[in-house]
């Protein structure tokens, strides 16, 4: 965890506690599902597909629900409402747009953040974020919080985000997007 100073420490500790309690709940559900399956096997029966499916779903939830804690209930509802619009094709396009943007930002790292090129990159950055958030301030707030906690992301998400992990890009874009 990065140094947040004395004022930010209580909030950081609350967030960490919340993350750990959520993970404990998911682990408890996974353990319960496995116990149920073992009980069936111990009784000499084969576990049916519903039990095995439940174990897999509970374990998968550990990977899928990690980001929800960053969003308010209202923001989660807005994200869920927009989910049907987020097709696999749109996801692929967004990923390619981000890859292209990161490549272009890396090429501009020596530029002045106030330059026309850098500001155009900043506009693209904000457009891509708006594409996910729909311009909603609550969703944006959660997204900002989630990205500020990148070191706490699950390993599979960190691996997936490797192309977007150049700290020089993030620092440069922080200067580009900093209010004047």
DSSP assignment of 141-152: HHHHHHHHTGGG
SS3 111: coil
pLDDT of residue 156: 79
pLDDT of residue 2: 42
Say whether pLDDT at 102 is over 90: yes
C-alpha dihedral over 93, 95, 97, 103, to 10 degrees? -150
pLDDT of residue 75: 92
Percent of the chain with pLDDT over 70: 78
Cβ atoms 149, 1 nearer than 8 A: no
pLDDT of residue 3: 43
Cβ atoms 162, 105 nearer than 8 A: no
pLDDT of residue 128: 95
Q: What is the largest CA-CA distance in the chain?
A: 72
**pLDDT: is 176 or 165 the higher one?**
176
The residue-averaged pLDDT of 98-124 equals 96
Residue recorded with tokens 């900043």: 122
pLDDT of residue 27: 76
pLDDT of residue 150: 85
- pLDDT band of 103, cuts 50, 70, 90: very high
The overall pTM is greater than 0.75: no
* Pair of tokens at residue 148: 């500020």
Measured between alpha carbons, how far is 5 from 171 in angstroms, rounded to an integer? Answer: 20
pLDDT of residue 154: 81
């Amino acid at each position: 965890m990065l140094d947040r100073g004395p004022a930010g420490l209580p909030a950081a500790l609350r967030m960490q506690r919340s993350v750990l309690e959520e993970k404990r709940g998911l682990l408890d559900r996974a353990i319960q599902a496995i116990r149920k399956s073992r009980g069936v096997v111990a009784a000499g029966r084969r576990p049916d597909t519903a039990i095995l499916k439940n174990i897999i779903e509970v374990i998968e939830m550990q990977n899928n629900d990690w980001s929800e804690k960053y969003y308010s209930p209202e923001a989660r509802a807005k994200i869920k409402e927009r989910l049907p619009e987020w097709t696999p094709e749109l996801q692929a396009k967004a990923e390619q747009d981000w890859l292209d943007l990161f490549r272009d930002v890396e090429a501009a790292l020596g530029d002045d953040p106030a330059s026309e090129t850098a500001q155009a990159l900043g506009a693209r950055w904000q457009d891509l974020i708006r594409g996910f958030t729909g311009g909603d301030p609550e969703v944006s707030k959660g997204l900002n919080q989630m990205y500020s906690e990148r070191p706490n992301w699950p390993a599979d998400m960190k691996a997936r985000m490797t192309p977007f992990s150049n700290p020089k890009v993030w620092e440069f874009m922080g200067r580009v997007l900093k209010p004047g």
